[in-house]
Structure 1
């Protein structure tokens, strides 16, 4: 009788611990990792987000993707990621190659876990966007200045009309 009470106590304690751990764990989703280089003279030789390597990116290019970064399905305040990158340039460049960088970057609000898109700018500036849309989408969440050299492929009004007819989304 004593053994069965101890066994029952052990089972109940284990069940409570499992339930508490499950309730506290965060639902996550694997997502692709894309990179965009907005600089004219420097390439991104290699970059990573939380240890997951992204594609190499030539000047003013991007869009290649790798798999997979894990993100929470639901955004939460204070969500950040560690981004590391190395620059590259032509051998005959007139300026020295900048040092490798690592930064903790805040991930802005997202409604659903789309691709994690990392934008590299002059002056070691980096922005991250989580979106199912590409930078050419008119509702992509960057200003025209932050988006350059990319431009929307259509107007917001035309995209709304297309979405009304089931041919696209305005939810970027």
Structure 2
């Protein structure tokens, strides 16, 4: 190799190394498992956090079922939000009075029922966490949502939310 080529390669190496110090480090993200809680009489048929899917949730229940994954930064920072999208069934026990499963009557009843599902989307702040852990999504009255993502869980004193499991929908919801 010629001396000129060696010098050019050496300058390129030094320039590349010096530029690395100028670029801000990208936040490290990980996929965290998703769990959900419905604090209302509605069922959550499906939901996602930053497009990562969560499990379906029966009315007034949740926890115990996890899906993978929501991409979140390892370190929490002020202003951290996630996009939560969900489909809600406001009358999850209606099928008790339907014709037998597999019949045309059942399919017709299901079609009428599914037309009443509602779909929602919210940009939700994530509660402060010291260590990234399980992403817990709480579905509250008036289509409100709360999200935590730490290494703690509902029922512990250090958990950021203490919602009652059963919450009633008010007669009218505030407009946001």
Q: TM-score range by the shorter chain?
A: 0.7 to 0.9
Deviations 1:112-164 (A, max 9, x none): 11211000012110000123333233442223xx23249xxxxxxxxxxxxxx
Deviates more, 1:4-13 or 1:110-119: 4-13
* Deviation at residue 4 of structure 1 after TM alignment: 2.1
**1:105 is aligned to 2:121:** no
Unaligned runs of at least 5 residues, structure 2: 96-112, 168-176
Deviation of 1:98 after TM superposition, in Å, equals 5.4
Specify the alignment match of 1:83 in structure 2: 84
What does residue 74 of structure 2 align with? Answer: 73
Check conservation: 1:135, 1:147, Cα contact below 8 A: no
Whole-Å Cα distance in 2 between the matches of residues 139 and 149 of structure 1?
A: 21
Q: Provide Cα deviations, 1:70-115, integer angstroms capped at 9, x if missing partner.
A: 3222211010111111112337499x83531111111121111121
Q: TM-score, normalised by structure 1?
A: 0.73
- Pick 1 or 2: higher relative contact order, CA cutoff 8 A, min separation 6: 2
Distance in 2 (CA, whole Å) between partners of 1:139 and 1:75 is 16
SS at match of 2:142: helix
Q: Is the 8 A contact 1:36 1:119 kept in 2?
A: yes
Using the alignment, how far apart are the partners of 2:59 and 2:7 within structure 1? 69
Equivalent residues of 2:49, 2:82 under 8 A apart: yes
Structure 1: which 5+ runs fail to align?
151-172
Using a 3 Å threshold, how does the CA distance of structure 1 residues 10 and 71 change in structure 2: closer, same or farther?
same
RMSD: 2.5
SS in 1 for 2:136: strand
Q: Classify the secondary structure of the residue corresponding to 2:27.
A: coil
Shift of residue 56 of structure 1?
Answer: 0.5
In the alignment, which residue of structure 2 is the partner of 1:155? Answer: none
Three-state SS of the structure 1 residue aligned to 2:118 is coil
Give the aligned length: 145
Q: Which has the larger radius of gyration?
A: 2
Q: Distance in 2 between matches of 1:109 and 1:134?
A: 13
